Chains A and B, each alone.
Chain A
Amino acid sequence: MQTRVNPNRMELLRLRARLSTAERGHKLLKDKHDELMQRFLELVWESRDLREKVEAQLESVSTSMVLATATASPAVIESALLFPKQRLDVQVRHDSIVGVPIVRFDHSWESVGGEADHYPYGPAHTPADLDAAIKTLSEALSDLVRLAELEKAAELLAVELERTRRRVNALEYVLIPQLQESIRYITMKLDEAERSNIVRLMKVKQMNEQA
């Protein structure tokens, strides 16, 4: 139960002010929660579809890799892949969804000498499956970057959503009922005091008339 409060008019006014603040806060938080939820669901569905797509692509990459290592010796493959021709850079932009800070990524390749393709080796000594693997992987990469962005945003939103939900519930089911209960208690006490005062006055008046 709530802590007993002093049943006086001062306390009553104070509690009423607190109640109206709590109700306003509750409404605002509830709106925030609804908006967050909507954005979160969009993110989750999108990232789920994207993940399915990316996982399929990556699986075909591993298949090609296995085929490549079957036709050429691992040493050949390894030395072919030893020196990458490009460097992958990611631009990080800071953004926010409903006040939750998130990051967005833009990626770009920067070639380290040579023409701008992905293959750092000549075609002579390496199996074609290796080319296929790298081609698929390079195609999957932009989706992978997008997936990272979506999943991270969803994760951060999930944390914020949980916090907001707890706050909404705390206000709705604990603080507001408690305040209402206290206000009711004070009103009753004051009414009771008022009534007993009236009775006392009436009694005094009666005694005065009899005397």
Chain B
Amino acid sequence: MSKNKIAVIGDKASVMGFKVLGCEAVAVSDSEQARVALRRLVREDYAIVYVAENTAADILDTINEYADQPSPAIVLIPGSQGSLGIGMEKMRRAAEKAVGVDILPGNEE
């Protein structure tokens, strides 16, 4: 049992609201900044890191590095531009990996 914090990475408009609720909001403007921020947050033992989808789209490789570690939980959330379906896609891939076939009903492509 330990006390941890929640962080949000995304463009300014996406993370603004979370700051009020006491999350650590990290505003980034390009993928390099996002990558650096993500690595820092992982090192600093944040329990949950939310990443806005429009930011996450460029740093998926970095996010996937942490997929098989128990902590932190990196979750993609729709940013200021609405849902891009990347978060759902991530779950779909996990399901495909586990089952061997795509089991979630398709919505795109």
Which positions in A face B, CB cutoff 8 Å? 37, 40-41, 44, 47-48, 51, 54-55, 58-59, 61-62, 65-66, 69, 77-78, 81, 84-94, 101-103, 105, 107, 109-110, 118-120, 133-134, 137-138, 141, 144-145, 147-149, 151-152, 154-159, 161-162, 165
- Contact in complex: B70, A156 (CB < 8 Å): yes
- Contact in complex: A88, B23 (CB < 8 Å): yes
Return chain B residues, CB-CB under 8 Å to A149: 73
- Contact in complex: A77, B97 (CB < 8 Å): no
- Contact in complex: B50, A159 (CB < 8 Å): no
Q: Which 3 interchain pairs have the tightest Cβ spacing? A: A152-B73, A88-B22, A161-B98
- Contact in complex: B98, A81 (CB < 8 Å): no
Return chain A residues, CB-CB under 8 Å to B50: 144, 148
Which positions in B face A, CB cutoff 8 Å? 1-6, 13-14, 16-23, 47-48, 50, 67-68, 70-71, 73, 75, 77-83, 87-88, 90-91, 94-95, 97-100, 103-104
17 inter-chain pairs at a CB distance below 8 angstroms, sorted by A residue, are A47-B91, A51-B88, A58-B77, A59-B83, A62-B80, A65-B16, A78-B16, A81-B20, A88-B21, A91-B4, A92-B1, A103-B73, A134-B20, A141-B21, A144-B77, A151-B90, A156-B70
- Contact in complex: B21, A84 (CB < 8 Å): yes
Cβ-closest chain B residue relative to A80: B20
**How close is B103's CB to chain A, nearest CB, in angstroms?**
8
**Chain B binding site: helix, strand, loop or mixed by DSSP?**
mixed
CA distance A4 to B14 in the complex (A): 65
Return chain B residues, CB-CB under 8 Å to A81: 16-17, 19-20
**Chain A binding site: helix, strand, loop or mixed by DSSP?**
helix
- Contact in complex: B80, A93 (CB < 8 Å): no
Return chain A residues, CB-CB under 8 Å to B22: 84, 86-88, 109-110
CA distance A161 to B99 in the complex (A): 8
CA distance A181 to B104 in the complex (A): 40
- Contact in complex: A90, B47 (CB < 8 Å): yes
CA distance A141 to B23 in the complex (A): 10
**How close is B106's CB to chain A, nearest CB, in angstroms?**
13
